[in-house]
A and B are shown apart, each in its own frame.
Chain A
Amino acid sequence: MTGFGGFLLRRTIGTLATLLAISVIVYVVFYVTPGNVAQITCGPRCSPEQVHQVALQLHLDDPLYVRYWHFLQGLVVGQDYSTGTSVEHCSAPCLGLSYQTDQQVLGIILTRLPVSLSLVFGAMVLWLVLGVGTGVLSAWRRGRLTERVLTALTLAGWATPVFVIGLVLMIVVCGELQLLPFPQYVKLTDDPEQWAWNLLLPWLSLALIEAASFARLTRASMLETLAEDHIRTFRAYGVGEGAIVGRHALRGALAPVIALNANNFGSAVGGAVLTETLFGLPGLGQELVHAVSVVDLPVVVGMVLVIGFFVVLANAVADVLYAVADRRVVLT
């Protein structure tokens, strides 16, 4: 299927170009951000001399293009850093070291990525079930009370910021009703059952926000599909209403849902920062907000690239799923 190979090649090149452009944007934006990085890294009571030493060590006084060149070098060849007693080599896709913690940025990302992914994947499953489910129900019960109630509920979820829903849910469910333990992140590999229990609330709060847009989209596209001729054909052959809605109308609604899902999934990886902050999940978003506040450029660039990568990846996967679902679409 050279078509698919061609598509893959074009998309990879496109992705790389996009990510490179993003890294330039982030470097420029954060280069002009005020805040004396050396002073912050060195500590509040450092003398000007000490601050100067730290600035030299982190190449902070180099011009922008030199620092960006170092960044690119790191990506391709890797970089050497001195830990004082020895020299540490950070191998090829090296995103540099955090100014604050001297940890390899790639290491920070790899430890935090599974947290963000498990939060967003779980939330994605929930918002698909909630959103599409509500959409199907309100399309089926069109005009009746159930549809109005469902629409109002999903809109309520959508209108309330996540940090309000999250906290209220937590206080009620974990605090007063004590149905669930307070969320603490447990690695999936360590204990899958605990992992799921602890992430249930964060998933729910994130999903409640996104469910509304899926409900609206599913309802609209299902109504559109139900008005099409082939539904009439199957009715004329005595196929039951349940099968018609379940098999045919829902399948018709899947394609746009896939496209919207890709978009929401991508932005959720970065955007779940509020949920991560509230529930204390050590994810990408939380660390990114912290890194921005202390102007820790290597961490910020590394994280924004990873998040950007997931957004672009999510869109590419959506295009492929779209083409698989609807063979009429040709992958460009």
Chain B
Amino acid sequence: MRHPSVNSARAAYVSLALVVAAGAAACGPKDNDASASGGDSTPHKGGTLTVLNSDPQSDFDPARLYTSGGGNVPSLVFRTLTTRNRADGAAGTKVVPDLATDTGRPSKDATVWTYTLKQGLKYEDGTPITSADIKYGIERSFAPELSGGAPYLRDWLVGAADYQGPYKDTKGLPAIETPDSRTIVFHLNKPEGEFPFLATQTQFTPVPKAKDTGTKYEEHPISSGPYKVVKNENDGEHLVLERNTYWSAAVDDQRKAYPDRVDVQSGLDSSVINQRLSASQGTDAAAVTTDTNLGPAELAKVTGDKELAARVGTGHFGYTNYIAFNPKVKPFDDPKVRQAISYAVDRSSVINAAGGSALAEPATTFLPDQKSFGYTPYDLFPAGDTGNVAKAKELLKEAGHPNGLTVTLTHDNAQNFKTSPEIATAIQDALKKAGITVKLQGLEDNNYSDTVHSVKTEPGFFLAAWGADWPSGGPFLAPIFDGRQIVKDGANFNASQLNDASVNAEIDAINKLTDLDAAAKRWGALDRKIGAQALTVPLFHPVYKRLVGKDIKNVVISDWTGVLDISQVAVK
């Protein structure tokens, strides 16, 4: 199912951590290396990489981008203190140093983090990168004119809640100290063991105060990465990057940057992109996409053609589609009703609606099925493949609804979010068998996000989805289940409005840990503990299948982003 590129990154209504819309086609299933058909598979420098996208690279300003791990195209231009490990699969979910010498030195119970910049870091114009530039870069992201970034800096830095950015109060943020040109210290108001993950976001990109032009900066941001912006038309509709001569592999072991030039075109229709990649004519042979999935229709054609199938990459990203309940609304205050629905759900028809088993895997846990999230499998209300109608009816009888009940399922009308209208009808059909008549309420894109994300108007039973800002249980469970993150008069994501003291305490405890593996196990256990209350009905995790041009080499797909990493790809 595809839709004209109606949503821009920042307009994503669900607190989607991923800045670039879902869907990318990497090359070859996870295990084998993506070898282009014929010819040697060792990557060489040179050539032009073409990127065919639906959504434009709008607001190409490090302060405004909401990325997961620094984003795909942005990370070619904006280097950050730390970044994601550019490797296949689970290894790709680790944090590694980028501009900094290490992933950060925590002190005072992980409330103070200190970083030191590498030697000899330069901008595209040869001027040196200093810690003051990093501080200024972060301060800029607080200016109302440059809104759009992630909320964590505002929540975590001391005294940042009402800071209005450098244009209004010029004295800057005391919570960030720069004792010398290569050291920078962050003071947090509470322990955050996962601060290194946050440091991968573009807000941590250095911006020299002298060259800042406010809202105009996005037209030509000063590059610290392997490529610099030479052309940006129609606010990211057409972006051309060329080599940044002052960048060197010596100070950046993550980005390979084989191609000399990167031509990012967007505003294209998704079926057109898939057609062009499969035809691979002319420049499309050396083309990839970073935001367009293979649709179910194209998948049927592609799997039938051996040569094409070899050019399809499979990626997994930390993302879950689920049904959310609002216990403040009858009859969903009764856990038995919620459990009955959990039993009655027919995950196979939902998955078919989402594109079939190749594009979606059934989910029974809220956390995505990846080690870095501390995934510990559990299925407290087993519905089997096609729904357990008997158990559901039994529970409904116990809950006092012997002859079934009628509820309204709210969903988004736009086709762009994983075909939600079709998923809603699949659920409607499944619950009908269990005697639950579902009326559908489809809302327009923005109307849906306003209704669902405000405590006053939140419906009792609605479709939702959540993605990881970074591959850890923290950004997945905290915003949804932490009682203190309930927002009374603004955008609230804690749909179940759960304010459970033990859950809040456990979240704080895990945040203290700087040993990420230990933290992951604790997040897994917390997920199972919350799952017991049946506040959500997990449905499926998306699987990204994307095509690449026939000349593309060295395709790396990490579980962090689930899509091919554009900084590793070669065209020669």
Contacts and interface: CB of A to CB of B under 8 A. Distances in A.
Asked if A and B touch directly (CB within 8 angstroms), the answer is yes
Interface of A: 34-36, 39-51, 53-54, 56-57, 82-86, 88, 100-103, 108, 111-112, 167, 170-171, 174-175, 178, 181-182, 184, 277-280, 282, 286, 289-290, 293-295
Given A48-B490, A171-B275, A53 B144 contact: yes
Contacts of B145: 57, 82-84, 102
A39 B123 CA distance: 34
Interface in B173-225: 212-216
A47 B154 contact: yes
The CB with the most chain A CB atoms within 10 A, among B165, B446, B493, is that of: B446
B254 interface: no
Given A42-B144, A48-B491, A88-B216, 15 more contacts: A34-B450, A35-B444, A40-B10, A47-B151, A49-B161, A50-B147, A56-B144, A83-B145, A83-B214, A84-B165, A100-B10, A175-B278, A280-B267, A282-B237, A294-B7
A282 B272 contact: no
Contact of A46 (B143, B215, B450, B491): B491
B370 to A, nearest CB: 22
18 contacts: A35-B444, A35-B446, A36-B446, A44-B15, A45-B151, A45-B491, A46-B491, A47-B487, A54-B147, A82-B167, A181-B282, A182-B276, A182-B279, A277-B4, A277-B269, A280-B269, A289-B4, A293-B446
Contacts of B487: 47-48
Contacts of A34: 444, 446-447, 450
A40 B267 contact: no
B334 interface: no
Contact of A111 (B144, B154, B234): B234
B281 A182 contact: yes
A44 B4 CA distance: 21
Interface in B446-462: 446-447, 449-450, 453
B291 to A, nearest CB: 13
Contacts of B58: 100-101
Interface residues of B, number: 65
A289 B6 contact: yes
The CB with the most chain A CB atoms within 10 A, among B212, B268, B278, B447, is that of: B268
A282 B6 CA distance: 13
Which 10 residue pairs are nearest across A and B when measured between Cβ atoms? A84-B214, A35-B446, A48-B490, A83-B214, A53-B144, A280-B268, A277-B4, A85-B214, A43-B148, A101-B235
Contact of A41 (B6, B13, B147): B147
Contact of B234 (A40, A108, A174): A108
B33 interface: no
B11 interface: yes
B269 to A, nearest CB: 5
A56 B13 CA distance: 22
Nearest to A98: B235
Nearest to B54: A280
B449 A44 contact: yes
A110 to B, nearest CB: 11
A84 B164 CA distance: 11
A102 B215 contact: yes
The CB with the most chain B CB atoms within 10 A, among A43, A45, A103, is that of: A45
A290 B213 contact: no
A84 B489 contact: no
Interface string B138-172: 00000111111111001000000110110100000
A293 B6 contact: yes
A174 B143 contact: no
A295 B282 CA distance: 38
Given A47-B490, A280-B272, A286 B151 contact: no
A40 B162 CA distance: 20
B275 A170 contact: yes
B265 interface: yes
A46 B446 CA distance: 15
Nearest to B278: A175
B136 to A, nearest CB: 12
Contacts of A82: 145, 167, 214
B14 A84 contact: no
Interface string B427-458: 00000000000000000111101100100000
B233 interface: yes
Contact of B8 (A45, A46, A279, A294): A294
Interface string B483-505: 00001011101000000000000
Interface in B127-145: 143-145
Contact of B12 (A44, A51, A167, A184): A44
A279 B272 contact: yes
B5 interface: yes
B149 to A, nearest CB: 7
A167 B274 CA distance: 12
A102 B212 CA distance: 16
Contacts of A41: 10, 147
B284 interface: yes
B482 interface: no
B227 interface: no
Contact of A86 (B214, B279, B444): B214
Contact of A45 (B7, B59, B143, B150): B150
Contact of A293 (B7, B16, B267): B7
Contacts of A100: 8, 10-11, 58
Nearest to B416: A293
B281 A178 contact: yes
Interface string B10-29: 11111110000000000000
A170 B273 CA distance: 12
A46 B148 CA distance: 7
Contacts of B15: 44-45
B149 A290 contact: no
B272 A44 contact: no
A54 B151 contact: no
The CB with the most chain B CB atoms within 10 A, among A34, A39, A175, A280, is that of: A280
A39 B148 contact: no
A42 B145 CA distance: 9
A286 B234 CA distance: 13
Nearest to B270: A280
A101 B236 CA distance: 10
A289 B15 CA distance: 23
B530 to A, nearest CB: 21
B271 interface: yes
Contacts of A88: 216
A249 B72 CA distance: 63
A43 B384 CA distance: 38
A290 to B, nearest CB: 6
A83 B449 contact: no
B66 interface: yes
Contact of B151 (A46, A184, A277): A46
B213 A39 contact: no
Interface in B240-278: 265, 267-269, 271-272, 275-276, 278
The CB with the most chain A CB atoms within 10 A, among B4, B146, B161, B487, is that of: B4
A286 B446 contact: no
B279 A174 contact: yes
A294 B272 contact: no
A311 to B, nearest CB: 23
B143 A84 contact: yes
A30 to B, nearest CB: 12
Given A42-B147, A45-B151, A290-B5, A182 B214 contact: no
A282 B265 CA distance: 11
Contact of B215 (A83, A167, A182, A278): A83
A40 B444 CA distance: 13
Nearest to A101: B235
A84 B147 CA distance: 12
A45 B447 contact: no
A294 to B, nearest CB: 5
A303 B7 CA distance: 19
A111 B450 CA distance: 32
A43 B491 CA distance: 10
Contacts of B490: 46-48, 51
